[in-house]
Amino acid sequence: MHGTSAQLGEIEAIATAVEATPPAADVLICPPSTLIARAALAARGRIAIGAQNCDAAVSGPHTGDVSAQMVKDAGGAWVIVGHSERRLHHGETDAMVAAKAKAAWIGGLLTIICIGETQAQRSAGQALSVCTNQIAGSVPDDIIAASNAIGYEPLWAIGTGHTPTVEQVVEVHGHIRQCLVARFGARGSEIRILYGGSVNPENAYEFLAAPEVGGALIGGASLKAKDFNAIVRAVPIVAERAQHSAVA
């Protein structure tokens, strides 16, 4: 819940930087729904625009909700589903997240499906099992690898300034990859896994260079073009290994 029309200049600045020096990445900004249409106009195809959420229904008496078709109509190409804040503050279950992902695909959107453990779960040694269960419940069977990404969010690192070690991220991302391959076979090896949790210009390269990290899901550092662009510029350094995504 950040951003009004006054902040559209930040999106313009990000798009201009990407146009001037095209990165080896897919660059996406997901503003609040009130700004999607205007953000798409500001981006002018130079970067992708997406939504932070969508409803599982195509239409109907769902006051206050936004459908995937509405996001698409406004100029959005992606949508984030299952973000930790949606799960925590709105009680979204794995089944609800899976239903939203399917609705997004039907509506022509690409998805970032978010998973991740709380501090209590990590302290109890449950981080990997939580991710296993959330993948099983939140990712529909008919996922298309090229059209989707998994966003790993250690909840205790979101907006706190606390970040896991690279070794912790590598462990979880490796486990997520194993789960995806075990379930989807070859498709599972192609789904990008994004790391999200207090990524900033100072630590972006370290995380992006880690095995099985296929991009970054950026929170607070996406609010200022200067910070976000610095993260995007970290991608070419590690791009020879694989394509990456800098995502907000």
Based on the residue annotation, tell me whether 153 is a catalytic residue of this protein.
Answer: yes
Residue bearing tokens 């990407």: 18
The alpha carbons of the chain give a radius of gyration, in whole angstroms, of: 17
Catalytic residue, from 83, 173, 175, 244: name it: 83
Ordered alpha helix ranges (H), the chain? 8-20, 36-43, 68-74, 84-90, 94-106, 119-123, 127-138, 166-184, 204-208, 225-233, 235-238
Catalytic residue among 10, 117, 153, 212: 153
Neighbours of 175 (CB within 10 A): 18
d(CA 68, CA 109): 7
Tokens 């907006």 locate to: 159
Give the contacts of 39 (CB within 8 A, at least 6 positions apart): 8, 11, 29, 31, 49, 75
- Backbone φ and ψ of 51, nearest 5°: -115, 160
173 is catalytic: no
Taking the CB of residue 109, how many other CB atoms lie within 10 A of it?
23
Q: What are phi and psi of 225, to 5 degrees?
A: -55, -40
Please spell the DSSP secondary structure of 105-140, one letter per residue. Answer: HHTT-EEEEEE---HHHHHTT-HHHHHHHHHHHHS-
How many CB atoms lie under 10 A from the CB of residue 164? Answer: 20
Amino acid at 208: L
So which residues are the catalytic ones? 83, 153
